[in-house]
Amino acid sequence: MEGKTKSCTIRDVARYCKVGVSTVSRAINDDPEIAPATRERVLEAVRELHYVPNNSARNLKMTESRTVALLVRGIDNYFYQGMYDPIQKDLREAGYDYIIHAVDEVADVTKEASALVKEKRLCGLIILGGRVDKSARELSSIDIPYVLCTVAVPYGKAMPECTTVGIDDERSAFCITDYLIKRGHSRIALLGGKKGDSAVGARRLEGYKRACNEAGQPIDESLIFYMHDDIPEFSVENGYAMMKEAISSGVDFSAVFVISDLMAIGAYKALFEAGIKIPYDVSVVGFDGINLGKFLHPTLTTMCQPRPQMADKAVSELVRMMKGDDHIRHNVFETELLTGESVSTKKD
């Protein structure tokens, strides 16, 4: 009995109850926002395991700040910028402070998140962008409630054991490629992700390929172009360089699917410089639905992600978890095809 008292930790109680460490702490501290059933379950485990809370740790938890961090991979990405305001607004309305922390493109998101939690006194975390291919054990090192929002999971791998907010990239890419096929296009170039990418680029590539296969169109690898490694991912500059490469390749195509709207802006410039008219010579579609597409000429046809709604859901899920509900939920939002003037019907 005495041995159990000395060896049992708050993590042992959390594992026993299958809840987060923060939930155990809130139950012990009699947080009024925690669900009564959860509190009773935790306290029962505390009694059974003979766990004795550390007073200094307990006092620290009782004075814990109400600060949530938004960790962003690609802070300058225009797509993510459309989510900052609704996230900040929702957090403030829920009574939480807000800080933003940027990481670079090659950063290990899980490692950065763990370091941020240790450095700052946080009660919650939203991870925006990037990719997570870590095991559940490694993700558990983030010992406060957190939500992954628009964070890519490697193609073919199971969703992580944590709450997520995102879209079905493969299905959305299938739909927009199928739209081009139904407009009569059989030679569709793809400006995709990095070669060997196993996350967003891979999922949108698979959607493109599935649409072609289901339409009876053989996959032509010469129509698939990859991001340049020496240029920032999903950027205007990369789209410009990729489109110039596609044009100079001499490969025949009547339409182009660009896997991000920012890249599509670069593709527009490359086509303009080459004297290729949109949509008369080549049709172009993008992906994301950022507002800039409305100001292109011609306006861009794109697959729109519901960014404000995704931002709202990320906050509401985090608040739910910070109040003691540790249930894992994978929220998948529908995308919407926004038709602009950048696609023409190809006639034989």
Domain ranges of the chain: 2-62, 67-167+307-333, 169-305
User: Can you tell me the mean pLDDT for 281-304?
Assistant: 96
CA end-to-end span of the chain: 83
Q: Which CATH number is correct for 2-62, 1.10.420.10, 3.20.20.140, 1.10.260.40, 1.20.1630.10?
A: 1.10.260.40
pLDDT of residue 345: 96
Q: Work out the pLDDT band at 64, boundaries 50, 70, 90.
A: low
C-alpha distances in angstroms, 308 versus 47, 85, 113, 313? Answer: 44, 9, 23, 9
Give the separation between CA 203 and CA 335, rounded to whole angstroms. 15
- pLDDT score recorded for residue 125: 92
**Contact between residue 332 and residue 167 where contact means Cβ atoms under 8 Å apart:** yes
pLDDT in tens, 210-263: 999 999 999 999 999 999 999 988 999 999 999 999 999 999 999 999 999 999
Q: When comparing pLDDT for 109 and 14, which is higher?
A: 14
Lowest mean pLDDT segment, chosen from 50-59, 135-144, 302-311: 50-59
**Which residue, chain included where needed, has tokens 């249930």?**
327
pLDDT of residue 309: 95
Is it the case that residue 320 has pLDDT exceeding 80?
yes
| pLDDT greater than 80 at residue 154 | no
Six token digits for residue 54: 């550390």
Asked if residues 317 and 163 have their Cβ atoms less than 8 Å apart, the reply is yes
Record the pTM.
Answer: 0.79
> Which of 110-124, 301-315, 334-348 has the lowest average pLDDT?
110-124
pLDDT at 1 over 80: no
pLDDT value at 58 more than 50: no
What does the pLDDT read at residue 137?
53
**pLDDT value at 159 more than 90:** no
Q: Dump pLDDT digits (tens) for 72-99.
A: 877 677 888 889 999 999 999 999 988 8
CATH of domain 67-167+307-333: 3.40.50.2300
CATH 3.60.20.10 corresponds to the domain 169-305: no
Residue 186 token pair: 């059989």
Instruction: Please give the pLDDT value at position 2.
Output: 39
Answer yes or no: same fold for 2-62 and 67-167+307-333: no
